[in-house]
Structures are given as structure tokens and as C-alpha cells.
Chain A
């Protein structure tokens, strides 16, 4: 239930009282905002009094008589226009003159009500105005929320970009000050770490651009029949050099070709991300298994590892941007925090979805379901 404050401004006491009476017990359901709304009524006798009232505590809706002694309704509108309020105004005109209505609308009235009017007509005008007001209010809230999300994204991004810079600059200072002595080989590990952090930063920028392109709908897509099985196999080949030194076994992905119309680059991004995670977050000597099957019109990819796994509260956040689960198991794992958000966004392009299961110390399974029919066009501006 929303309660809206209405200020009735009319020089005739009878008018004010009858309007107050008409709205006193009026409750109306507004389907647009899926909520009930009721009104509380306050009164002003003149334009001056109304302005004073509005300055002190702006109402949600102003019911404003056009003709009053002292300043007129139109003049009140002019003053109100300068105040930058979210208040809506219903202008009451003494006669149903188009000219007055047009003039009032031009000067900022949102609705007008010709005298004489019935309580029903008054309520209808209030109902329409309330719906507009509440819709606008929700739009503002949504815009503010979006602004906050964007701000938070930039804040975290700033941190993620600054961390590798700090690390590399720290190493440079260490080298410049010859902190490890005069022998060059003493610095090999330091230089290798610099290279890793710079690579990580490059990857972050690439991922960020990918994510932005997917979200903006500006990503260039070439749709052609693609064998998903082949893409998974290539992704497996790509992670073997990371897996073998750590004794991690990656099972081959056996089976028939699974053809779907797709952009091959997008499928590669999905598979590479999942397989590289399965290796990175594994334990030494662990295993990785990728399976692919057709389920009616859909293709289901699951990538399981026998890795470090994670707690349910971490699992709930892994598809969010820049979430990297930090603990002593993951401290030495490099990542951008954008891999899984990219996978999720890509899956959505194929009418698909992603899911995850995990158990700490036992491993994680990520499931991606893709629609094997022709994928939808990239929806522009989807969040």
C-alpha cells in the first residue's frame, strides 16, 4: 500500500472540503505498479500558501485551482517548475476551455480537471496521476540502482587493475635497488612473476572487452554449423600443458560429433574458460572430465574436476563479475574474475543457462546448457 500526499489548493472552502471528502476513503489498485494506493489530503487557500507549503514539504500531487485571488494557478506552476520536484500537478480549470488546458500543460501541469467535476472524475484523475507518479518513481529507483551497480563495477575494476601494477612496480623497485644482490639470475623468479602479472592484466583487459562487446550487442558474430565435440577437444588440448606438470589427468571427450549453429569463437571461449578453471582450481594429481550430450533440442556440457571445490556461499557468487574465491587454496591461482560471467553471458546468447555444484575438497561441476537450434540475435543492451 502506497500513501500519496495530495495538496488541494482552492480559494473556495466548499471545493476543498468536497475534494478532501472524495479522497478520504479512496483506495485504488494500480495494475501498472501492482499496488494499492491511498491519499492523504492537505489544503491551501491561496497560491502563496500553496507555494509556502510546497517549499516546506512538497506533496506528491498538487491539485491546483486555476483562478484564485492573489497569484493564479499558472503562476504557481511557474514557481514550481523552478523547484525541480518530482511532484505532479492536476490543474482545475473553471471552464472546459482548451486554451487554458493547453496553456497549463505547457507550463508544467500533468493533468487537468474541468469544473464542475464529480467525485468519480476527481478520483479518476488522481488514479491516472498516481500511476504516472509511481511508475516514474520506480524508473528513477531502477536508474539509481543501475548507476550504483556501474559504480561498484568500476570501483572493483580499478582495484583489479591496480593490484598487478602494484605487484610489478614493487618487483621493479626491488630490482632497481638490487635488493637481491648483483647477480642477474637471482632475479629470474622475480622477472617471471612480473611477466605473469602483466599477462594477467592483459587477459583482464581482453576479458573485459569481450564482456562489454557481448553485453552491448556489438559483438561480431558469424553463425555456422560447429561441432561442439571438436571445440571441447581443442580446449582439452589447450590445457594439457598446464595439467601435465601437476599430474592432473584430463579425460578425452569421446563421442559422436554434436553440430549446432553457432559462432565458433563463442563456443571456444566457453570451453576454454571451463577447462582452464577445472585445471587451475584442481589439486595436484587430480582429474578433469568434460562430457557432452544432446538432450532433445539442447546440448549439455558438463565439466567436472576433483579440485579444491568451494563452500555453498562461495558457489552462489561465482557467476558474478570479479568474484574470486580467496583462501589459501586459491591464493596462487591467477584469474581475472570474469571467466564465468563471460560463460554465463555467452550461454544466454544460445538461449541457454549455466549451473554449478561443488563440495569443498571434493571438486566442482559446471553445467552449460545450450539451445542447439539457431541462436537468437544478440539482444542489444541486455545487462
Chain B
């Protein structure tokens, strides 16, 4: 079964997401920061990354996604955000600025997230 890494500094987001992903049979690890997330990607080698947009810095998630793509990392990235409502910024997955595969506004509906994960993992042939 596919391996998923959840990176979010809110322990309840990583906890809740891990709970239902595991229940669906995914293997899940979580990290609380960008630095820990980068390490986990190297060691855990996830098939898919769920990434919060805002951690210590308001754009840590975006910076992390950019860094991954810059280094040729192609794994699918799902970005969780509450940014739109807080700052009035609007992101869009097609924008070069944010190289991710899907966007979810928090709170994330488990059903929708699971559907998206399946789709992305299938596309990747994992």
C-alpha cells in the first residue's frame, strides 16, 4: 500500500489525517516542520506528500514544494491551506508559484481527500 507523508505543524491535522488514512490501509508518517519533512522525504520515501502551506513561516509549505520540484522530486503533493481566508491571497494549483497537484481548504473533508489521493496515486501508477 502506498506510503504517505503528512507535514503540518498542527498536531491535530496530522493526527486526524493519519487516523483515516491508516484506516483506509495507507502507511502514514507525519512531520511537524519543513525541516523534519525534508528529512522524512529522504528517509521514508513517501509516494505522496500532504503539505500544510503555513508552518513556522507563512509560506513554508510553498517554499518546500518549490524546493522539491527544483531538485527534480516528482512525487504528487496535496496542499492544505487556510491561507486564502486569512490573508486574502489566492493560490491556484496551475500557477508556477505553487507547484502542487491539488489544493484543499481546511477543514478538509476526509472523503474528498481520500478520493483525490486515490486519483493521484493511480495516475502515478503506485
Query: Which of A's residues lie within 8 Å of B, judged by CB?
Result: 155, 158-159, 162-163, 165-171, 173-174, 177, 179-181, 190, 193, 197, 326-328, 331-332
- Given contacts A159-B54, A163-B82, are A174 and B32 in contact (CB under 8 A)? no
Tell yes or no: B96 within 8 A of A by CB. Answer: no
Closest B residue to A172 by beta carbon equals B107
Distance of A193 Cα from B10 Cα, bound (Å): 12
For the complex with contacts A170-B13, A193-B12, 18 further pairs of A-B residues with Cβ separation under 8 Å are A155-B87, A163-B82, A165-B107, A166-B10, A166-B82, A170-B12, A170-B17, A170-B106, A170-B108, A177-B110, A180-B19, A180-B23, A190-B19, A326-B33, A328-B33, A331-B9, A331-B32, A331-B33
Tell yes or no: B16 within 8 A of A by CB. Answer: yes
Partner of B12, one of A162, A181, A197: A197
User: Are B19 and A326 within 8 A (Cβ)?
Assistant: no
Closest A residue to B32 by beta carbon equals A331
User: Are A167 and B85 within 8 A (Cβ)?
Assistant: no
Total B residues in contact with A, Cβ cutoff 8 Å:
28
CB distance from B62 to the nearest CB of A (A): 16
A-B pair count, CB < 8 Å, reads: 78
Q: Is the interface of A mostly helix, strand, loop or mixed?
A: helix
Partner of A173, one of B56, B82, B109: B109
Query: Which of B's residues lie within 8 Å of A, judged by CB?
Result: 9-13, 15-17, 19-20, 23, 31-33, 36, 54-56, 82, 85-87, 106-111
Partner of A155, one of B12, B16, B56, B86: B86
User: Are B32 and A179 within 8 A (Cβ)?
Assistant: no
Distance of A317 Cα from B9 Cα, bound (Å): 19
Distance of A40 Cα from B111 Cα, bound (Å): 69
Distance of A205 Cα from B28 Cα, bound (Å): 34
Closest B residue to A179 by beta carbon equals B20
- Given contacts A177-B111, A326-B32, A331-B11, are A166 and B20 in contact (CB under 8 A)? no
For the complex of A and B, 10 pairs with smallest distance between CB atoms: A169-B107, A167-B12, A331-B32, A166-B106, A179-B20, A166-B107, A170-B107, A170-B16, A159-B86, A328-B32
User: Are A162 and B33 within 8 A (Cβ)?
Assistant: no
Distance of A117 Cα from B56 Cα, bound (Å): 63
Residues of B within 8 A of A163 (CB): 10, 82
User: Are B23 and A326 within 8 A (Cβ)?
Assistant: no
9 contacts between A and B (CB under 8 A): A155-B87, A158-B85, A162-B106, A163-B10, A170-B13, A179-B19, A193-B15, A328-B31, A328-B33
Residues of A within 8 A of B108 (CB): 170, 173
Closest A residue to B24 by beta carbon equals A179
Residues of A within 8 A of B111 (CB): 173, 177
CB distance from B125 to the nearest CB of A (A): 26
